[in-house]
Structure 1
Amino acid sequence: MKSAWSLMLIVALGVSGCGSEDPARSDTARVVKLVDVSTAQQLPSRRFIGRVEARQTVDLSFRVGGQLSELPATPGTVIAQGETIARLDPTDYQLAVRRAEAEHQQATSTLSRQRNLLEQNAVSRSVFEEAETQYRLTEVQLDNARQELSYSVIEAPFDALITRRMVDNHTNVQPNTDIVRVQDVGELRVRINIPEGLIRYIDEPERFDLEAQLVSMPGQRLPLVYREHVTEPDEVAQTYEVALAFRDQDAVIALPGMTASVSVSPREVVEPPGVVVPVSAIAKDSNGDFRVWRYTADDGTVHPQPVVVGEMQDRHIAVLSGLDVGDTIVAAGVHALRDGMRVRPMEEAL
């Protein structure tokens, strides 16, 4: 029994002795692949898939209710600005105007009579003021009746393409019920989503050639001009929506909803800011911030370097700040590194 216990003790000491060699092994330099940081390349031509859209799309409705008596709007047709799109039966509203006109005329006569009597001291001022108040009320009622009569007609707010009718003629509709959907096709636009790396050039559209190709016009390249952009990025794709317009609207054969292929080509050399590194060199720290591992040749160690990243192209990503041209960083295996760790370049290990 005693010999067995002695054997276990010897084995335990042997194991602990083997464990004491771990620090020495931890000092063994890890083999890594290093790369030198280079400048970002010239912005290449880019192609985006966009969609043709009208300048604006509006659902039109009546502010008052009633029965539809006219609905000349036919989907696919264009109604000129100011022309009738829909009309309610105006009978009730015309009667309301006539009633308001009669009451206003009576109030006008009463006010005139009370004014003459007041000048003769035949009535008190309070009676005159009551007649004056009634006159003003009937004036408001008349204006309101005329306004409601005007609300019984929907006119085209612009040269409107009728895209959809929501109700049929002779239908009784409530106020604010959508009647038709119209689009302003006076200027067709193309909307695309561009990455955040290009949005910084949005204020310099003259530095780029913008052209679109449409399936409806094969083989033709249509020049575009910048109109506006959304300043909030898409929550998922981190892209920004940009609206472009056809330079020659009369030459375009297209309808809203069609697909467009948009090319963005720099007219001159455009060097993006920052440097580029392999995507595999980028890691995140415990706070979720981006970093790389910078290599120090003097002692062969690596240290974390916070960076601000930009647009990704192929297998490289732009670094906007945190690195300079000529810095050496670890290109792969960055998740296994720690601050001050000794490493060996892969070239030396071969």
Structure 2
Amino acid sequence: MFMPFEIGRHRSFFATVALLSTLSMALAGCSEEKADTSDVVRPVKVVEIAAADNVRQLSYSGSVRARTEMNLGFRVSGKIVERAVNVGDRVKVGDLLARVDATDYELAVRSASANLDAAERQVETVKLVRDRAEQLLARKFASQAQFDQSVLSYNQAIATRDAAKSALSQAKNQVTYTSLVADRPGIVTTINADVGQVVGSGTPVASVAVEGEKEVQIAVPETEIASFKAGLGVKVGLWADAGLSLDGTVREVAGSADQQSRTFSVRVSLPNNPRVLLGMTASVEASAGNGASFVSVPLSALAEKDGYPIVWVVDRGTELVRSRPVTLADFTGDGVRVTDGLAVGDLVVAAGTQFMTDDLKVTISNDATHQSAAAGETSIVR
């Protein structure tokens, strides 16, 4: 017969055994779970780092203009009495553009003509004197000094006559200059003066864009002007004709910046094309080298470890992932640019980085999207 204290002892023993059994089963379950976790192979989406492209695209807008544009003005002063053209008119060589009052210049022609007639009469008079002195000298009725004086007077009369001829020609030219005519074919682009206005010689009255070669003028900031040299090939497109792409050539680069905008004027020559019209808006695209090499990766590929940016790189042979610190340049609209830490051919985990640990086994399934992260191409638009 068991005593009461013995029954209590047996009950305590059985409880302890049951507890130990429960703990053993729990520990076994945990060990089994841990073993199962280590065997998990996660499919991942990766991007492959492609060769760095050190070329960036520069894009600027400008307007089509004639290579030569003449600002025409009168060579004499006067009051404009006629304007024969309007903006947009096509003109040929010799076409009248405008005319100033020629009354005073015509009077000057009459005065110069009268002076010439007087000089001609003077020449005739002194010629008679010279001839008479020559005859008297031959007969010994006149001295050599008298003859020399007559010759001198005759030469002076000849010079006066020649001066009068030049004055008359000049006066006639002044009358001609009262008519402003086109000396090259083109299109009138600007009218700067109108009938009734008094203009001085050389004051621009009309601008004519000379027919022939066209060009695009763009303004380039000083940070990019080193990329533009005479002879550089560029691509030119027209906003009004999206299907037209032209091969342009940089013709001229300004030697100094504009005082107001601090930009440099660059002129791009265009091939002859009837679809290109003056005044059209054009875009000029050029390629320039980057100062440093960048590769772009999706923002989702970026992680952090110990306060530093990292990415998870998949080893192609073992298919294990390892963290790798990277140096960031800046963020773009669709990712981040990396300057150091990645090499060509690296496979970078692009999604699910929060589940990654060092030496985690992964698989790149056929369903995973393979992307190519190339160098960041910078597009600068002006």
2:58 partner letter: R
> Which of residues 84, 88, 113 in structure 2 aligns to 1:76?
88
> Which of residues 195, 202, 219 in structure 1 aligns to 2:229?
202
**Residue 194 of structure 2 corresponds to residue 173 of structure 1:** no
For 2:191 and 2:120, locate their aligned partners in 1 and report how far apart those are by CA, in whole Å.
45
For 1:237 and 1:93, locate their aligned partners in 2 and report how far apart those are by CA, in whole Å.
45
Larger radius of gyration: 2
1:262 counterpart residue number: 284
More divergent stretch after superposition (230-239 vs 109-118): 230-239
Counterparts in 2 of 1:172 and 1:243: CA distance versus 1, 3 Å? closer
2:121 counterpart residue number: 109
For 1:201 and 1:180, locate their aligned partners in 2 and report how far apart those are by CA, in whole Å.
33
More divergent stretch after superposition (79-88 vs 191-200): 191-200
Counterparts in 2 of 1:214 and 1:67: CA distance versus 1, 3 Å? same
Counterparts in 2 of 1:173 and 1:237: CA distance versus 1, 3 Å? closer
Equivalences for residues 1-350 of structure 1 within 5 A: 42-121=54-133, 124-169=150-195, 171=196, 173-176=198-201, 177-194=203-220, 197=224, 199=226, 202-205=229-232, 208=233, 210-234=234-258, 239-252=263-276, 254-256=277-279, 258-265=280-287
Secondary structure at 2:248 match in 1: strand
Whether contact under 8 Å (2:240, 2:281) holds in the other structure is no
Shift of 1:126: 4.4
1:199 partner letter: A
For 2:112 and 2:59, locate their aligned partners in 1 and report how far apart those are by CA, in whole Å.
63
Aligned-residue RMSD, C-alpha: 3.5
Using the aligned pairs only, state the percent identity: 26
For 1:235 and 1:68, locate their aligned partners in 2 and report how far apart those are by CA, in whole Å.
35
TM-score by length of 2: 0.52
- Deviations, residues 235-270 of structure 1 (Å, cap 9, x unaligned): 687653220122124231x333x421112248xxxx
More divergent stretch after superposition (241-250 vs 53-62): 53-62
For 2:257 and 2:197, locate their aligned partners in 1 and report how far apart those are by CA, in whole Å.
43
For 2:89 and 2:220, locate their aligned partners in 1 and report how far apart those are by CA, in whole Å.
33
For 2:260 and 2:189, locate their aligned partners in 1 and report how far apart those are by CA, in whole Å.
31
For 1:58 and 1:132, locate their aligned partners in 2 and report how far apart those are by CA, in whole Å.
42
Gaps (5+ residues) in structure 2? 1-51, 134-146, 295-328, 332-339, 341-382
Shift of 1:174: 3.6
2:238 partner letter: L
Counterparts in 2 of 1:315 and 1:51: CA distance versus 1, 3 Å? farther
For 1:178 and 1:235, locate their aligned partners in 2 and report how far apart those are by CA, in whole Å.
23
2:46 counterpart residue number: none
Gaps (5+ residues) in structure 1? 1-39, 278-313, 317-325, 327-350
For 1:200 and 1:215, locate their aligned partners in 2 and report how far apart those are by CA, in whole Å.
24
For 2:190 and 2:172, locate their aligned partners in 1 and report how far apart those are by CA, in whole Å.
30
